[in-house]
Amino acid sequence: MCTVELEMQNTILLIEDDESLAALVTHDLGARGHLVHAVASAEEGMRALDERDFDVVLTDLSLGGMMNGVELCAHLHGARPDVPVIVMTAHGTLATAVDAIRASAYDFVTKPFEMPQLALVVDRAVGLRMLRRELARLRETAAGASALHGIIGRSAPIEHVRELVSRVADTDATVLITGESGTGKELIAKALHDSSSRREHPFVAINCAAMPESLLESELFGHSRGAFTDAKAARAGLFVRADHGTVFLDEIGEMPLGMQAKLLRALQERTVRPVGCDQEVAFDARVVAATHRDLQVEIAEKRFREDLYYRINVMHIHSPPLRARGADTLLLAHRFVEQVAAQSKRNVRGMSAAVAQKLVAFPWPGNV
């Protein structure tokens, strides 16, 4: 015995008292993959909505009975604001159609209409309904969204990052995090530290692109008193200050070649030599590095040492761009809205479906 898995169909409630038109619309939309439930009055339509959920309501504007199409739109907006309503109207009642839009109808089509025209409006309304459902789900779960030490998201790429972090966090392996600027590489580094047995010890970070080579060497390895003009006292470097913790070398692809050689030796020997000092100082710190550059290209162009690359790339985690993370954009947006609303002391409950559509469609070249 075999089973066939049926795809979930979009459900349309059609309210139309013209039997021939109702049959035509039901057949055509059904052929396009929609499940259409047709009734002849507003009262029947409201009973149907009480009994089950629909993705879209498609209603004639001129209905007999106790309620017309405009009144129905107003009622549905109050009772079921998440369900888009499309009104069908004759040319002579366009002014009334405007009233329906003011009563929060999603759109209207004028009779006589071509079925492809109606189907296009219905498809757009279905898309809006799906987006509204997703927004409602996000509003309910944003506060407790699956987050690993600040990494927000539920997309497949970000779940893969979480899996890798969980697998390699409690090891001493050096990790290379790659990805475009703004994708949260430092958050991943912090998650590695916070998920490890080193979490009670320091996490120190340095941007390798932010300072010249001489200053970078002093920051990483430390210096002795009098090593240079402003060295009025000895100072331990980040590797020693992060003892038993984690050192995060951000933008390691920008590190000068001369400094790369010194870093390689430090990683190999697990010791550093402070500037102006003759003695080596041992350290026990896990090293995590990050870059937005393609280090394979940098190696080919002789701008990055191949031996250092293999030393830092024991484990590799790629931080995905925001454009590849789908609805994570909305989770992040909700989190930022909450933060800004709290800071500005404003009661902002969320975002509209139109805003959400723009957020999801935008390519986000600067990422988060």
Tens digit of each residue's pLDDT (9 = 90 or more) over 102-126: 777 788 888 888 899 999 999 988 8
Q: How far apart are CA 336 and CA 301, in angstroms?
A: 40
* Banded pLDDT at 93 (limits 50, 70, 90): low
Tens digit of each residue's pLDDT (9 = 90 or more) over 262-272: 999 999 999 99
Q: Give the model's pLDDT for residue 165.
A: 94
H-helix or E-strand containing 111?
A: strand 107-111
Q: How far apart are CA 298 and CA 11, in angstroms?
A: 54
Q: Give, in order, the Cα–Cα distances in Å from 130 to each of 127, 133, 286.
A: 5, 5, 45
Q: What's the burial of 360, exposed, middle or buried (CB within 10 Å: 0-12/13-18/19+)?
A: middle
Tens digit of each residue's pLDDT (9 = 90 or more) over 346-368: 888 777 878 888 888 899 999 99
Measured at the CA of 250, the angle between CA 245 and CA 252, to 5 degrees, comes to 115
Q: What is the three-class DSSP state of 160?
A: helix
Contacts of 251 (CB under 8 A, 6+ apart): 207, 208, 209, 210, 290, 291, 292
For range 44-52, the mean pLDDT: 87
H-helix or E-strand containing 14?
A: strand 10-15
Q: Give, in order, the Cα–Cα distances in Å from 105 to each of 52, 57, 196, 209.
A: 20, 10, 54, 54
* Banded pLDDT at 244 (limits 50, 70, 90): very high
Residue in the structure block whose two tokens are 């759109």: 107
- pLDDT exceeds cutoff 70 at 144: no
Of 240, 236, 246, 232, nearest to 275 (Cα)?
Answer: 236
pTM score:
0.64
Q: Which residues pair with 90 in a beta bridge?
A: 111
Q: Give the model's pLDDT for residue 145.
A: 42
Which of 78-82, 241-245, 342-346 has maximum average pLDDT? 241-245
H-helix or E-strand containing 36?
A: strand 34-39
Q: Maximum Cα–Cα distance for the chain, whole Å? A: 97
Structure tokens at 292: 């937005």
- pLDDT exceeds cutoff 60 at 217: yes
Count the Cβ atoms, other than its own, within 10 Å of residue 183.
25
Average pLDDT across the chain, whole number: 86
Structure tokens at 59: 């209603």
Q: What is the three-class DSSP state of 6?
A: coil
Of 280, 209, 210, nearest to 239 (Cα)?
Answer: 280
Q: How far apart are CA 103 and CA 206, in angstroms?
A: 57
Q: How far apart are CA 251 and CA 177, in angstroms?
A: 10
Of 267, 305, 265, nearest to 283 (Cα)?
Answer: 267
Q: How far apart are CA 137 and CA 145, in angstroms?
A: 11
H-helix or E-strand containing 37?
A: strand 34-39
Residue 192: φ, ψ to 5°: -60, -45
- pLDDT exceeds cutoff 60 at 146: no
Tens digit of each residue's pLDDT (9 = 90 or more) over 2-27: 333 334 578 999 998 889 999 999 99
Q: How far apart are CA 91 and CA 105, in angstroms?
A: 17
